[in-house]
Each structure stands twice: as structure tokens, then as C-alpha cells.
Amino acid sequence: MKNRKRMAGMALILLLLVIAGWIAFTTIKTAMLYTIPNHQADIETHLIEWQKRTGDEHDLTLLTVKRLGDSDTLVAFFESEAHVWGFATLKEGSNQKLRIVESQYGDSDYSYDGVSTNHGDYAIVTARNLPEGARFGRVKLVNTSFYFPFAIPDEPILMLMQKVPDGLASYDYDEFTFYDQDYQEID
């Protein structure tokens, strides 16, 4: 009987040690992966360093950082001195700090990308040099009847994040359509 109690006690101690080790491991791993404070200046500094790693543009300015709904994912929009613009996807760790997952940029006037989060998928739409008189727009996705409308702000660059329904076969866009204030299509 004493042996059984001793074995049960040792098993409990071993279990507690394994749990404590796992907690320590995940805490250290999170602290090592998620190192960027959630402040625009820190994000910009780390994004510049991130871009330098691949030899890409590194003379950039952070325009804005936005969280995708209630998810652990943020999107940082930026522009280089050469007027090339793009965005970076950042994930937030349990320590409330960030890590850059990916970044992309280009000189296209219209861009549509998908980002997966812990709360579903989002469409990221960026556009500039919009048609004269455009007040509204619509993005239609490939191989589906799904589209989403949007109002065009008075800012020079459109940066839109939209949650898309689960289960779509593709998150690629088929077309951008723009409308004037009377909802007439603009070519």
C-alpha cells in the first residue's frame, strides 16, 4: 500500500514537472519569437530590418497598422521613398508583442491579397490612382459569386480589410469595379 502511494506521489510530481517544463518552454519560445513592441515606431524599425534581410526596399515609411477584427493578426501598410507600397502581416503572441510573418509590395495600382487569421480569412485591398470621380467600388472573387462593396475614402490610398466567408474555394480576385456618386460604373 505504501509503495502505491509513493508511486502515485512520484507520478504526480513527474506530471507537475512536465507541466512546469512545458509552460517554461512555451514562455521562452514566445518571448523569442514575438519581440516587436506594438508601437508604430518599433514596427517600422523592425519592418525596415525585415526588408533588408532579403535585399528589398528598406527606405520605407509606415502608413498605418490595423488589426484584423478580433484576431491575433495585424496588417502594417507602408510606402517606400520610390512610391512602392505594400503591407506586412504581423502576428501577436501571448506576451502582447508581435512578429512579422510576411511582407509584400509592388507598384501595381490595385492589389488584392488574402490573409488567414485565428478568426477566419480576410481580404486586403489596396488601391491608388483611382478613376476620376470614383466614390464606390466592388471586388469580385474568382470562381464564386461572392463580392464585397466598399466606399472610397478621401485619402490618396485605399486600404481596406474585409472578412470573407469561410469555405470559399479561392480568395483570388477576378475584377475591381468602380462607381461614381450616382452608382454608375466608371470605365
Is a pLDDT exceeding 70 seen at residue 137? yes
What confidence tier does 4 reach under pLDDT thresholds 50, 70, 90?
A: confident
Is a pLDDT exceeding 90 seen at residue 18? no
Q: For the ranges 22-26, 36-40, 122-126, 134-138, which has the lowest average pLDDT?
A: 22-26
Residue 57: partners with Cβ closer than 8 Å, 6 or more residues away? 51, 80, 82, 84, 105
Structural contact between residues 101 and 113, judged by C-beta atoms closer than 8 angstroms: no
Q: What is the model's pLDDT at position 67?
A: 94
C-alpha cell at 45: 524599425
Is a pLDDT exceeding 90 seen at residue 105? no
Q: What is the model's pLDDT at position 169?
A: 64
Q: Mean pLDDT throughout 139-144?
A: 82
Spatial separation of the C-alpha atoms in residues 81 and 177, rounded to whole Å: 29
What does pLDDT average to over the chain? 84
How many helices (H) and strands (E) in the chain?
A: 2, 11
Q: Mean pLDDT throughout 2-16?
A: 82
Q: What is the model's pLDDT at position 24?
A: 72
Q: What is the model's pLDDT at position 176?
A: 84
Q: Mean pLDDT throughout 72-100?
A: 90
Spatial separation of the C-alpha atoms in residues 76 and 46, rounded to whole Å: 11
Q: What is the model's pLDDT at position 14?
A: 84
CATH architecture of 33-107: 2-Layer Sandwich (3.30)
Spatial separation of the C-alpha atoms in residues 165 and 65, rounded to whole Å: 23
Which position has the grid cell 464564386? 144
Residue 82: partners with Cβ closer than 8 Å, 6 or more residues away? 57, 59
Is a pLDDT exceeding 60 seen at residue 12? yes
In the chain, which ranges are E strands?
60-67, 73-80, 85-92, 98-106, 110-117, 120-128, 136-141, 147-151, 157-163, 173-179, 185-186
Q: Mean pLDDT throughout 140-163?
A: 83
Q: What is the model's pLDDT at position 107?
A: 74
C-alpha cell at 94: 501571448
What are the sequence ranges of the domains in the chain?
Answer: 33-107, 112-187
Q: Mean pLDDT throughout 45-59?
A: 79
Number of C-beta neighbours around residue 165 at 10 A = 11
- pTM of this prediction? 0.77
Is a pLDDT exceeding 60 seen at residue 57? no
